[in-house]
């Protein structure tokens, strides 16, 4: 009002004398402003002016030629609710003026009592009250919108009278008609889920008795059959003596959040069932910015049982503490999982008692709280390893039996037939008899078959510890394959590289045999180098070729031959590593503990 330059007034009055008098009063009252007056002597003209111009206040006579009584005010009020209205009444119209105020007018003045001061004060107060009313209505509207957006309603309970009032949003939350009276607590009880009723009663009693804010959660079933969950904050309202006379509360619809919490709990329950119900070791851990493993986030009971730690002890460990591998190898595995999203490999975990357990690991990575996280599922393969070892042993024994049978049976028979054929050829040749050349051809073929049978026998029984052992077997293998395929296959060794255990020697021989065959048949290599060396405390078998190599890591791990080589290396307590790039050849390393190290 401080920056108001003029008060634009609409006077709707059919009495010219009253109109002139009011105009004079306006001039006297607002001498510091520039009051303007627009006069209409009928309701119709007044409403027309309202559509054409803006006004700050309306002075309205309820007795007009074209309208009378409260209907006059209603017509003006419906046309514009933003302009304050002061009703002017005659001697007998006081009751009508009061009704107009109750209907929304800012004030009413009796014409006989009007003077300049009263009129000026009434106009200013009317304008101020109207502005406050508009602000309050706008504030309430914003509050209602905010409550709708937040699903937040409010209520008030008079403890003495039992009267209760609800906001519109509270009615909406409970799916009730806001035109109906707010229900009492007793009327609400039937829709409250029984398990919540005692908590509500206790919370209300506590607010009343202690005079402090209370919190409660309740579930309801609406008329439409929906289940809703509500959260309420209840504040006590006290009289001047400190007695709680009313309760004021807010209620928020938390159904979506509650359902999410219930779903989360159900997911957690299912996760725990799977996490703890499996017979495999499960480890969950994150890595830092350098991809170093952090202490385990979670481990299942099987992991604790398998490794011999309590749950609390194992959560303090990292992958470095339980994996039987060099730090660089562990970091490489972690990087592979993060980069590819998953990795399947074989590993060995160390128990609290330093026992080494072979595991088949399936690992996957995902992001949790913005950090790379890995879940590792490990299957104990000790029983399977024993069974596979038994199968290999039986297979090797059968190879040796067949080899001995061929040597002692077929080999001896071919030798005998060869001697007889050679003797007959010599005899026929000395006699100059016909057919000597044919018999000699037979003798040569039998000799060739005998040599081939001996080669097969040596392949089936490759290593003889009693003679030259693994070294001579590898030397003979490379010589024969070089001659058979007409490629350069070289062999070298260090004298200290001795394998006294026949089973281990056979496994190394088979690994070398498989690697050479892969280089020739799949890699199209022209040069292969095989080396058996002693390195520090272990024996290293190294096969290198100049072939085309493997296209990618998946092809290396997918082959059956590679898996068998891996398994043979594990059977002798060793470790197999294959390095290969497309077009760059392949290197196979098999490292096993030396005999001295085993002792």
CATH number of the domain at 98, please.
Answer: 3.40.50.2300
Q: Give the pLDDT of residue 488.
A: 94
Q: Are residues 139 and 191 in the same domain?
A: no
Q: CA–CA separation, 485 vs 472, rounded Å?
A: 20
Q: Are residues 535 and 593 in the same domain?
A: yes
Q: CA–CA separation, 223 vs 177, rounded Å?
A: 11
Q: Are residues 402 and 314 in the same domain?
A: no
Q: Give the pLDDT of residue 1.
A: 44
Q: CA–CA separation, 529 vs 542, rounded Å?
A: 8
Q: In 33-103, where does DSSP find H-type helix?
A: 43-52, 70-79, 94-103
Bridge partners (DSSP) of residue 230 are: 218, 253
- Cα angle 537, 535, 571; round to 5: 65
**Domain presence at residue 270:** no
- Cα angle 36, 41, 44; round to 5: 105
Picking from 310, 341, 368, the residue at the C-terminal end of a domain is: 368
Picking from 461, 490, 507, the residue at the C-terminal end of a domain is: 461
Q: Give the pLDDT of residue 2.
A: 45
Q: Are residues 430 and 506 in the same domain?
A: no
**Domain presence at residue 290:** yes
Q: Are residues 325 and 442 in the same domain?
A: no
Closest by Cα among 332, 377, 375, 347 to 579: 332
Q: What is the pTM of this model?
A: 0.43
The CA–CA distances, whole Å, from 472 to 377, 468, 505 equal 43, 5, 11
Q: CA–CA separation, 158 vs 127, rounded Å?
A: 34
Residue 321 burial (10 A CB sphere; 0-12, 13-18, 19+): middle
**Domain presence at residue 364:** yes
Q: CA–CA separation, 374 vs 372, rounded Å?
A: 7
**Domain presence at residue 49:** yes
**Domain presence at residue 2:** no
Bridge partners (DSSP) of residue 59 are: 11, 86
Q: Are residues 497 and 598 in the same domain?
A: yes
Q: Give the pLDDT of residue 466.
A: 45
Domain assignment of residue 221, given as a range: 151-259
Give backbone dihedrals phi and psi of 527, rounded to 5 degrees, phi first: -135, 130
Contacts of 568 (CB under 8 A, 6+ apart): 392, 507, 508, 510, 511, 576
Q: Are residues 22 and 99 in the same domain?
A: yes
**Domain presence at residue 272:** no
Reduce the DSSP state of residue 215 to 3 states and report it. strand
Picking from 211, 227, 259, the residue at the C-terminal end of a domain is: 259
Q: Are residues 187 and 209 in the same domain?
A: yes
Closest by Cα among 477, 481, 456 to 468: 477
Overall domain count for the chain: 5
Q: CA–CA separation, 516 vs 143, rounded Å?
A: 83
347: left (phi over 0), alpha (psi -120 to 50) or beta: beta
Structure tokens of 77? 């009020």
Q: CA–CA separation, 73 vs 229, rounded Å?
A: 46
**What tens-digit pLDDT sequence spans the chain (599 residues)?**
444 557 888 999 999 988 888 888 888 776 555 678 899 999 999 999 988 888 888 999 988 999 988 898 889 888 887 888 988 887 567 788 888 888 888 888 888 888 888 888 888 888 877 777 767 666 666 655 555 555 678 888 888 888 888 888 889 889 999 888 888 888 888 999 999 988 888 888 888 888 888 888 889 999 889 999 998 888 899 888 888 899 988 888 888 888 888 888 888 887 777 788 788 999 999 999 999 999 999 999 999 999 999 999 999 999 999 999 899 999 999 999 999 988 888 889 999 999 999 999 999 999 988 899 999 999 998 887 777 777 777 766 766 676 666 655 665 666 677 677 778 778 777 887 777 777 787 777 777 676 666 665 555 455 554 445 888 889 988 988 888 788 999 999 998 888 888 878 888 988 998 899 889 888 899 999 999 999 888 899 999 999 988 776 666 655 667 878 888 888 888 888 999 888 889 999 999 987 655 43
Structure tokens of 393? 């042993």
Structure tokens of 301? 């009971």
Q: Are residues 448 and 474 in the same domain?
A: no
* C-alpha torsion sign, points 321, 325, 326, 329: negative
- Please say whether the beta carbons of 272 and 367 come within 8 A: no
In this structure, are strands 36-40 and 164-166 parallel, antiparallel, or unpaired? unpaired
Bridge partners (DSSP) of residue 73 are: none
**Domain presence at residue 442:** yes
Bridge partners (DSSP) of residue 366 are: 373
Q: Are residues 359 and 456 in the same domain?
A: no
Structure tokens of 127? 């304008």
| CA 204 from centre of chain | 40
**Domain presence at residue 1:** no
CATH number of the domain at 470, please.
Answer: 3.30.565.10
Q: Are residues 122 and 112 in the same domain?
A: yes
In this structure, are strands 63-64 and 107-110 parallel, antiparallel, or unpaired? unpaired
* C-alpha torsion sign, points 91, 92, 98, 101: negative
Q: Which residues of 300-316 are buried (b: 16+ CB within 10 A; e: fewer)?
A: bebbbebbebeeeebee
Q: Are residues 60 and 167 in the same domain?
A: no
């Amino acid at each position: 009002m401080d920056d108001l330059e003029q008060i634009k007034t609409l006077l709707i009055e059919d009495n010219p004398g009253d109109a002139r008098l009011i105009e004079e009063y306006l001039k006297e009252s607002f001498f510091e402003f520039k009051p303007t007056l627009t006069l209409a002597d009928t309701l119709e003209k007044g409403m027309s002016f309202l559509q054409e111009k803006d006004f700050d206040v309306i002075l309205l006579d309820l007795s007009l030629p074209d309208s009378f009584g409260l209907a006059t005010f209603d017509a003006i009020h419906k046309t514009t609710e933003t302009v304050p209205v002061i009703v002017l009444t005659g001697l007998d119209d006081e009751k009508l003026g009061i009704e107009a105020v109750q209907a929304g007018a800012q004030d009413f003045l009796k014409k006989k009592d009007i003077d300049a001061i009263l009129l000026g004060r009434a106009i200013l107060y009317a304008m101020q009250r109207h502005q406050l009313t508009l602000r309050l209505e706008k504030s309430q509207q914003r509050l209602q919108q905010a409550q709708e957006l937040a699903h937040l309603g409010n209520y008030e309970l008079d403890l003495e009278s039992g009267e209760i009032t609800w906001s519109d949003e509270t009615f909406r939350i409970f799916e009730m008609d806001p035109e109906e009276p707010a229900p009492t607590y007793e009327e609400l009880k039937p829709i409250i889920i029984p398990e919540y009723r005692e908590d509500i009663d206790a919370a209300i009693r506590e607010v009343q008795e202690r005079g402090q804010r209370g919190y409660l959660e309740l579930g309801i079933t609406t008329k439409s059959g929906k289940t809703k969950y509500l959260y309420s904050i209840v504040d006590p309202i006290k009289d001047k003596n400190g007695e709680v006379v009313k309760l004021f509360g807010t209620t928020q619809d938390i159904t979506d959040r509650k359902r999410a919490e219930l779903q989360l709990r159900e997911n957690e329950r299912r996760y725990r069932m799977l996490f703890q119900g499996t017979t495999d070791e499960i480890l969950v851990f994150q890595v830092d910015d350098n991809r170093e493993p952090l202490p385990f986030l979670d481990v299942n009971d099987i992991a604790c049982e398998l490794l011999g730690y309590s749950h609390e002890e194992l959560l303090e460990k990292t992958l470095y503490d339980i994996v039987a591998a060099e730090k660089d190898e562990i970091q490489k595995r972690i990087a592979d999982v993060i980069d590819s999203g998953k990795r399947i490999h074989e590993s060995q975990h160390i128990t609290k008692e330093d026992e080494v357990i072979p595991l088949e690991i399936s690992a996957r990575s995902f992001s949790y709280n913005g950090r790379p996280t890995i879940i590792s599922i490990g299957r104990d393969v000790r029983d399977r390893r024993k069974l596979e070892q038994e199968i290999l042993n039986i297979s090797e024994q059968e190879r040796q039996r067949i080899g001995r049978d061929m040597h002692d049976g077929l080999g001896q028979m071919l030798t005998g037939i060869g001697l007889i054929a050679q003797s007959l050829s010599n005899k026929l040749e000395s006699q100059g008899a016909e057919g000597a050349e044919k018999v000699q051809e037979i003798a040569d073929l039998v000799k060739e078959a005998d040599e081939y049978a001996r080669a097969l026998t040596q392949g089936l029984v490759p290593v003889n510890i009693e003679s030259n052992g693994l070294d001579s077997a590898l030397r003979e293998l490379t010589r024969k394959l070089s001659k058979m395929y007409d490629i350069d296959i070289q062999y070298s060794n260090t004298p200290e590289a001795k394998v006294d255990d026949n089973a281990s020697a056979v496994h190394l021989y088979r690994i070398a045999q498989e690697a050479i065959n892969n280089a020739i048949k799949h890699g199209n290599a022209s040069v292969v180098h095989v080396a058996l060396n002693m390195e520090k405390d272990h024996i290293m078998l190294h096969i290198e070729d100049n072939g085309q190599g493997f296209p990618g890591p998946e092809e290396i791990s997918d082959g059956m031959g590679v898996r068998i080589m891996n398994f043979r290396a594990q059977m002798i307590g060793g470790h197999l590593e294959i390095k290969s790039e497309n077009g760059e050849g392949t290197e196979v390393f098999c490292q096993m503990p030396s005999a001295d190290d085993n002792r």
